[in-house]
Structure 1
């Protein structure tokens, strides 16, 4: 298997073959994430198709300057697409079947446009996804109702959400460089919301020792 970073570099330079290969070679990641959502009223195949959209977004958005693995970066985007697909609450409720048709059609439309330089016709989309024109039109119109309501807020927050994901990944990587006791202290303090006294009892330290060690760790993390 070719290195993801090498394929990403080529894809960023406009190499469509490298981009397609990157997507293909990381499909196992999509399948792995999709399996976590089995039992929520959708077939695994549908969840994989939706997760694939997240993988494609990860390929297109990934910055080579990110100091994280591509697979680590991709998982939240894949999960986000699947969760959005499963989400039923909203001002307009769309049937699961129509949502499935819309996602499949939109994914094919984007891929077709990149490859052929034009939008596919309705007949071409229907032939690809196994739908009929009436169903496709109904699915696209239903999706517009939701996207018009949600899109304004999502467009404004999507970039910041992506930045937060990257920031969390950086923090996790920094924590992984700490000795086990120091990592546990910071995890309990800032993710478990424990007091210094509680942490001291867990780690067998005094509150003063916890306070001193916490300040030392934070200085080191800040420098890093």
Structure 2
């Protein structure tokens, strides 16, 4: 059975199909995990996080995309691992709590896929074989110190921490945007086309684009979002 057929069956609630895709792609997950070794985390820990990224890729992949599933899955897996490493570095917590966090994350993904809703503490308690106190402690420890959506202010504008994030924290979004913009470049003005070309085809960061075009990184971020929103609206009409 080919991958697209398995994905369609997984989207219809076939857990065995979902598990089969995961198992068949363990080599791909490990190939990505190896890029992040020697950063203070065990390979097995990163593999578990990579599996979560793969499950998200399975659940979110649209078989109508004109792109191979592996091409879509790679940035999803890498992005999940990057977020884990980034967030884990904010506050140092014990290995036991980290293990509990990964167990909770894994079981939460399974529950949401099957039930289409968030599990309660009591439901997590049953499937994770943890006490309520252990679950609450692990979930509290995993919260970011600073929300990426918290607004910050400069002299003449407001922006969030997400506005300032480099593209490697959202590379799965980058892949989807790149697929879209390939067909819509002609509608852009010269300056807009240059920004999109540098960002999505030259693979430059927002900071690099800002330096090249004599703008601030925040200005590039905001203009890029405006362009992409306009292109999405154009594609949906």
Aligned residue runs from structure 1 range 73-222, under 5 A: 73-88=72-87, 93-95=91-93, 97=95, 98-112=97-111, 114-115=113-114, 119=120, 121-127=123-129, 134-144=133-143, 146=144, 149-150=147-148, 162-168=172-178, 191=202
1:197-219 CA-to-partner distances (Å, cap 9, x unmatched) read: xxxxxxxxxxxxxxxxxxxxxxx
1:143–1:86 distance in 2 versus 1, CA, 3 Å: same
CA distance in structure 1 between the aligned counterparts of 2:180 and 2:113, rounded to whole angstroms: 32
- TM-score, normalising length: structure 2: 0.57
Shift of 1:73: 0.7
1:14-68 CA-to-partner distances (Å, cap 9, x unmatched) read: 3332222122211221111112211111111100000111101100111111111
Structure having the higher helix fraction is 1
Secondary structure of 2:39's counterpart equals coil
Shift of 1:9: 2.0
Structure of higher CA gyration radius: 1
Secondary structure of 1:150's counterpart equals coil
CA contact (8 A) 1:101 1:139 kept: yes
1:112–1:166 distance in 2 versus 1, CA, 3 Å: closer
CA distance in structure 2 between the aligned counterparts of 1:49 and 1:19, rounded to whole angstroms: 16
- TM-score, normalising length: structure 1: 0.60
CA distance in structure 1 between the aligned counterparts of 2:203 and 2:173, rounded to whole angstroms: 23
CA contact (8 A) 1:53 1:107 kept: yes
* Residue of structure 2 equivalent to 1:211: none
CA contact (8 A) 1:67 1:170 kept: no
Q: Does 1:72 align with 2:74?
A: no
CA contact (8 A) 1:85 1:99 kept: no
* Residue of structure 2 equivalent to 1:3: 2
- Cα RMSD, aligned residues only: 3.9
CA contact (8 A) 1:126 1:133 kept: no
Secondary structure of 1:149's counterpart equals coil
1:101-121 CA-to-partner distances (Å, cap 9, x unmatched) read: 223212113314544786564
CA distance in structure 1 between the aligned counterparts of 2:174 and 2:19, rounded to whole angstroms: 27
* Residue of structure 2 equivalent to 1:177: none
Shift of 1:123: 4.0
Secondary structure of 2:66's counterpart equals coil
CA contact (8 A) 2:6 2:21 kept: yes
Shift of 1:122: 5.0
